[in-house]
Structure 1
């Protein structure tokens, strides 16, 4: 572990500050000696002489030094000594997309992460795995440095659990690169663990819109088969939350059957975008879409159900007139509900 060049900066500022004080003292002494002499007709207006340091500049230098002293130093730590937060909000897919590969290349070309990550020291009981620190924010930067095998620039701050969560959330929302599902997963974990007693309390602590928090949490709590319907969980949008929730509450078995069919289509090589999967799940299939069919096998008979736009077609082998009559009556009774 090594401290980066902040000490050098402080030393140079301190030297400038000392030189400024000395120059100002010399100027004030000279002015005191000349105070009994009549002013020259060519005397300058009141103000600092050219090349000297004014009181204002000294005050600014002093403020800069005080700010650096108050700030936490930037240190270099091997990423293997740092573990992910318990509230880690990065889904594995985040590290397998081209954007992350480009992000890692930028860090490599800069010989490290320019913007430090923030960590907190682990208690002795938590260091059994060899880690000494836990990430407050900066999981992507940490992962990039870990994969590159280089030290990561960090700021160490000993903060409590709730402060850690609030800082992580604020930093993520300011960076605007966290997906709704990842955000929802983080909020759901915080609520389930009791870190916040309610969604309202969570909203107040982090200063976020409770409606957006509710949507994010509902996305994170979707059943696994529904989540697996999408190409990536990172594709799921806030605006889909209400429709998915309503569809599941109204016809859970139908939605789960659609999810299973989407999975079968993908496994058979039929490419479906996440948007198409959403449309199929909630029944918003556009006229330009291909018909979506699923099969139900009963003994030796096969029922094929095809959906397109707002139409559903049922196809099956020829049945006797009596059975067809029963099916017609059943469909009529369902339509009359």
Structure 2
């Protein structure tokens, strides 16, 4: 049955084709698939240097046509088996080409295409989480030098088209999903930025991708994360902090502490010199100090900000909270506490500069091994 269908298909393809020497406009006939002798007679007209095709056959046929000397006119198969073989050969070649094309297309399945964009056409996300002070750090300067040396960013940023953007040539075309530092570096260097363009992306998806991408790269400061989370909640991106934590797969305690730092008065943040100096473990005690005596905390923060030179961030924290760093036997002592203020560890330096670290909890085997590795790295030798 399959062979019959194949033969029928071959005849259907070849039967409707005119002979190679047929003139345009002649009526094709199914008889061309039948092997029949054709009487060839010289044509009356003949051009120099050309062969003469057969004259029209009585009762209708192909008119004469000049063919260049040495060229052989193409003749379709004259028999059913010949037509079938020609058709099968053609089908085999086409099928092979289709398979090759499918393999090449499959290799790019799911791939995203990166392209070079003018950084001036790209705007920061409305949830941008990089404090301006971040672009004055040594880490950013190093990143900028690397991009300049490579002639552009190797790792692409990600953008999406801005919906309902204002008209005008100067209006940004794209909004950053992630890669604010790489974009800023290219913008300052005046070179195109390599970017992936996501044509359709919801606000929630943008926020989640940006948060996770930044977490996998250089960590944001605790204060920057808090600002980012607060913006998302204030703009209704998530109905609650709990839903935000589920979406970005982060513990609620970290989210709460980050937002506690972001809610601190500007005077308190300035006392630390830069919001990047604020640490997660300080959030609870600073929050408590602000709740106990808001005016007193602000007064101390203004006094610290006016000092020259300004105290180190750890000392600022000690002054504002009044408990973590103190004098001990002529030396100094520093304490670490958990989110509830419970002591975890302390470091003491005596008069001779010798350091003692005491943990207020029992360390298990895994913790002791981690501590040992840290000390190995610190002292530059192995136990």
The superposition leaves residues 156-180 of structure 1 with CA deviations (integer Å, 9 ceiling, x where unpaired) of 0020111100110111111142111
Checking the alignment, whether the CA contact within 8 Å between 1:77 and 1:152 is kept in structure 2 is: yes
Name 1:164's counterpart in structure 2: 206
- Structure 2 residue ranges without an equivalent (≥5): 1-98, 333-383
Q: 1:110 to 1:281 in 2, by over 3 A?
A: same
Q: 1:67 to 1:281 in 2, by over 3 A?
A: farther
Name 2:217's counterpart in structure 1: 175
- Structure 1 residue ranges without an equivalent (≥5): 1-57, 290-337
1:143 pairs with one of 178, 184, 193 = 184
1:87 pairs with one of 122, 127, 135 = 127
Which secondary structure state, in structure 2, belongs to the residue aligned with residue 124 of structure 1? coil
Q: 1:278 to 1:67 in 2, by over 3 A?
A: farther
1:1-337 paired onto structure 2 within 5 Å: 62=103, 65-66=105-106, 68-126=108-166, 129-157=170-198, 158-265=200-307, 269-284=308-323, 285-287=325-327
TM-score, normalisation: structure 1: 0.64
The superposition leaves residues 41-89 of structure 1 with CA deviations (integer Å, 9 ceiling, x where unpaired) of xxxxxxxxxxxxxxxxx99x94x85352422210100100100000000
1:207 Cα offset (Å) = 1.0
The structure with the largest helix share of the pair is 1
Per mean C-alpha deviation after superposition, the further-off stretch among 69-78 and 138-147 is 69-78
Distance 2:107 2:280 in 1: 40
- CA RMSD in angstroms comes to 2.0
Distance 1:152 1:125 in 2: 21
Aligned residues: 227
Distance 2:207 2:318 in 1: 35
Checking the alignment, whether the CA contact within 8 Å between 1:232 and 1:274 is kept in structure 2 is: no
Greater relative contact order, per chain length (Cα 8 Å cut-off, separation 6+) = 1
Distance 2:158 2:216 in 1: 15
Distance 1:181 1:65 in 2: 46
TM-score, normalisation: structure 2: 0.57
Q: Which runs of at least 4 in structure 1 moved beyond 4 Å after TM superposition? A: 126-129
Checking the alignment, whether the CA contact within 8 Å between 1:84 and 1:135 is kept in structure 2 is: yes
